[in-house]
Structure 1
């Protein structure tokens, strides 16, 4: 995308993005709200499961490769408060979140101790909806036909703007909450409840909508909700995400775009010793595809990524020509426009393998995850608040993460800071070590600081007309 500055130079440039994407090349989203084929309703399993060190099968990966360059200070300042504004609401927000912190900690651990795969987060759904209802929000369960999505809404007065907040709560197979979505879940609740308290205390009309968004780990729950109109009434939307990093630090840089591809090869079985010429080897097609993509890597840009695995039938045998093979791929690029071009190159490798082996091919391209279009004005306000009130440093370095919130950020003004939680060595996102870290008191404390910063930022957007005008200008520029 024009203006994108990748890698550790990202903090030195202001990234300008067009907030309207060309979607002509995309496959329309199938509006089916059942769990994807191949997903499991079973619980993920113990977070202490042995032998499972790392999981990189989904677009979400919030690990940062160079922490030493991540935590760079930014000097940008938010707009001054408009006439008549005061800062009394900040104490209301802080006090409310201090009051709620023990409840949010308990809720986070309950979700952490009951990990569930995407589209099957029934325990988390019920815990979160019950919690929000008990605090005065009107709750819609199984929102827009997604069984484990929800909408929790609070309105104060007449008119005013509408704040959207997102919670995530799906886990990873075999790893539990190795991406810290238990923390994201309670951060969303905290922002919503703190802004509610500020609206009431200062008699400011407005509405707060907390969306529970399932299946971020490859299922694209937010993409489905966005396509179904779940964000249409919002003026802005915020959320956050944990990652390894320096203590008391946050990141408001962009993410990268990604797209998952499933490809199936169908051949014909035969006896591998007696009559191999009668067979058509689907596994050969998969290996050729893998080799083709590996050769493509020589001509890939340094900031592009593609990774995949091969799956097959349980009844594969060495003396039988395999008649079926399946591959799962994830393609990544810094921007959605670059991703489209790169996906086409990968597709040609997959198609060529079918042609070379005379296999039939079936390809399923999942909905793309866009890069994050972070709102500059919201980001500067958040950075100023967390630095001046809590001593938290921030920067705008681009990360290698992908998230379905990227799609939301192109539909309306949005902010999605990453923030650091303490982790052990080699314990980045999608590892057992991160699962353990996501349950720690230190991780909860860091989450509460970021929750306060987001609540302050969001409430200013509801309260301060001139500030929100600048937010909209930044989004449209």
Structure 2
């Protein structure tokens, strides 16, 4: 009978190779739906290890499954994409997705080498997902227009393709910032909707007859003030974030602006708050325009849903973290204003995403560095392995999805309506 400690020993055997692999993926930074070399590196490893896989899923994604074909189904999910460098010189893994990929491959190899799943009725699928960062809209919208993908996000496309049908739970991990703790458990991620409001007025000569014009910039400015007041209508724990910007001001110094574009994300910690805030923002935009005799055309683009984690699975997560740190080194239930498409999975399937420290510099910045290789690559992988082990070995630890078909239909209807 293989023990959890036996399983961890397979990580130790591969220690040098894991760290080398992590650096290799960190250096291979590619934007969403462009992860060609990253995918090739993953596939080369899967071929070498004799693991069956699907490739080109949602353009560049990969799914590899090991274990019993019809058993309890665990998904280990890892992002692959990177971000543009701020100095414009290329790309960088400044959100740590290369670490996720490395952790997932480490867990896969340990499960494979130990053959522990043969002693269970379970299978584990590894989802290497593209395009988590919500950026590069022109390129992604071009892919949508060509029919190559349906949505801007990798996981959203994988959900629509049915890749997660039959999955019972989702396990994921993500690097956190420069903190004094080693891990975090039970964190939230905000959901968000992207809004674009085009205010349309009437141009006029600003010196000769400004009164016959209708200033679109005034409408957008008034709306920005109104939106700032909306924040006071929501409790702090709702996580509402509204920071509109003027994307286009229009006009020139001697012309009353005929068109002005305001853009904003609406972020919130739960779906109810997100939808309520979106409705109030729309009312603010619309009525500020009407007050100044302007037209306002609002376009919504769905972002990601809030992350809501499984408490039951997170109790297992914490137990496994405590093998590598003290209770004081675990941050519990942190609230984040960031967003991720793992939130969409959590709407459908019991999901966890634990955090691990070991990063210096700032996220989404060229200063990002992996400073604690032990915690990022070794400890985090062992925690993930321990979670899988506890769930496959003890049926009472297993969490099942409910009403998946109905939730998926509701979800796809929502994002198709707002995409």
Residue 459 to residue 93, structure 1, CA distance change in 2 (3 Å)? farther
Q: Does 1:136 align with 2:47?
A: no
Confirm or deny: 8 A CA contact 1:188 1:210 kept in the other structure: yes
Q: Does 1:147 align with 2:59?
A: yes
Return the alpha-carbon distance in structure 1 between the equivalents of residues 4 and 402 of structure 2. 24
Q: Does 1:318 align with 2:253?
A: yes
The CA deviation at 1:208 is 2.6
Structure 2: tracts of 5 or more residues without a match: 87-91, 135-151, 405-419
Q: Counterpart of 1:351?
A: 286
Q: Does 1:223 align with 2:134?
A: no
Confirm or deny: 8 A CA contact 1:247 1:421 kept in the other structure: no
What CA deviation, in whole Å up to 9, does each residue of 1:100-133 have, x standing for no partner? 413422333223xx342x3444443443344434
Residue 124 to residue 288, structure 1, CA distance change in 2 (3 Å)? farther
Confirm or deny: 8 A CA contact 2:184 2:356 kept in the other structure: yes
Residue 174 to residue 380, structure 1, CA distance change in 2 (3 Å)? same
Confirm or deny: 8 A CA contact 1:93 1:452 kept in the other structure: no
Structure 1 residues 217-256: aligned runs within 5 Å: 217-218=133-134, 219-247=152-180, 249-256=182-189
Structure 1 residues 180-329: aligned runs within 5 Å: 180-199=96-115, 203-204=119-120, 206-218=122-134, 219-247=152-180, 249-265=182-198, 266-303=200-237, 304-312=240-248, 317-329=252-264
Instruction: For residue 382 of structure 1, give the secondary structure of its aligned residue in structure 2.
Output: helix
TM-score by length of 2: 0.78
Residue 272 to residue 201, structure 1, CA distance change in 2 (3 Å)? same
Q: Does 1:419 align with 2:330?
A: no
Residue 181 to residue 279, structure 1, CA distance change in 2 (3 Å)? farther
Structure 1: tracts of 5 or more residues without a match: 1-83
Q: Does 1:179 align with 2:112?
A: no
The CA deviation at 1:85 is 7.9
The CA deviation at 1:444 is 6.3
The CA deviation at 1:227 is 3.4
Q: Does 1:102 align with 2:19?
A: yes
Structure 1 residues 330-345: aligned runs within 5 Å: 330-345=265-280
Return the alpha-carbon distance in structure 2 between the equivalents of residues 441 and 369 of structure 1. 29
Return the alpha-carbon distance in structure 2 between the equivalents of residues 247 and 294 of structure 1. 34
Kindly indicate which of the two structures has a greater share of residues assigned to strand.
2
The CA deviation at 1:286 is 2.0
Confirm or deny: 8 A CA contact 1:385 1:453 kept in the other structure: yes
The CA deviation at 1:187 is 2.3
Confirm or deny: 8 A CA contact 1:160 1:462 kept in the other structure: no
TM-score by length of 1: 0.70
Return the alpha-carbon distance in structure 2 between the equivalents of residues 316 and 198 of structure 1. 67
Kindly indicate which of the two structures has a greater share of residues assigned to helix.
2
Q: Does 1:460 align with 2:396?
A: no
Confirm or deny: 8 A CA contact 1:264 1:327 kept in the other structure: yes
Q: Counterpart of 1:168?
A: 79
The CA deviation at 1:305 is 2.0
Residue 347 to residue 462, structure 1, CA distance change in 2 (3 Å)? same
Note the aligned Cα RMSD (angstroms).
3.1
Q: Counterpart of 1:408?
A: 345
Return the alpha-carbon distance in structure 2 between the equivalents of residues 206 and 473 of structure 1. 15
Residue 137 to residue 319, structure 1, CA distance change in 2 (3 Å)? farther
What CA deviation, in whole Å up to 9, does each residue of 1:5-37 have, x standing for no partner? xxxxxxxxxxxxxxxxxxxxxxxxxxxxxxxxx
The CA deviation at 1:231 is 1.0
The CA deviation at 1:86 is 4.2
The CA deviation at 1:311 is 0.7
Return the alpha-carbon distance in structure 1 between the equivalents of residues 169 and 105 of structure 2. 16
Instruction: For residue 341 of structure 1, give the secondary structure of its aligned residue in structure 2.
Output: helix
State the aligned residue count.
377
Confirm or deny: 8 A CA contact 2:22 2:98 kept in the other structure: no
The CA deviation at 1:203 is 4.4
* Structure 1 segments (4+ residues) deviating >6 Å: 473-476
Residue 276 to residue 382, structure 1, CA distance change in 2 (3 Å)? same
Q: Which moved more, 1:340-349 or 1:198-207?
A: 198-207
Confirm or deny: 8 A CA contact 1:241 1:416 kept in the other structure: yes
Confirm or deny: 8 A CA contact 1:164 1:211 kept in the other structure: yes
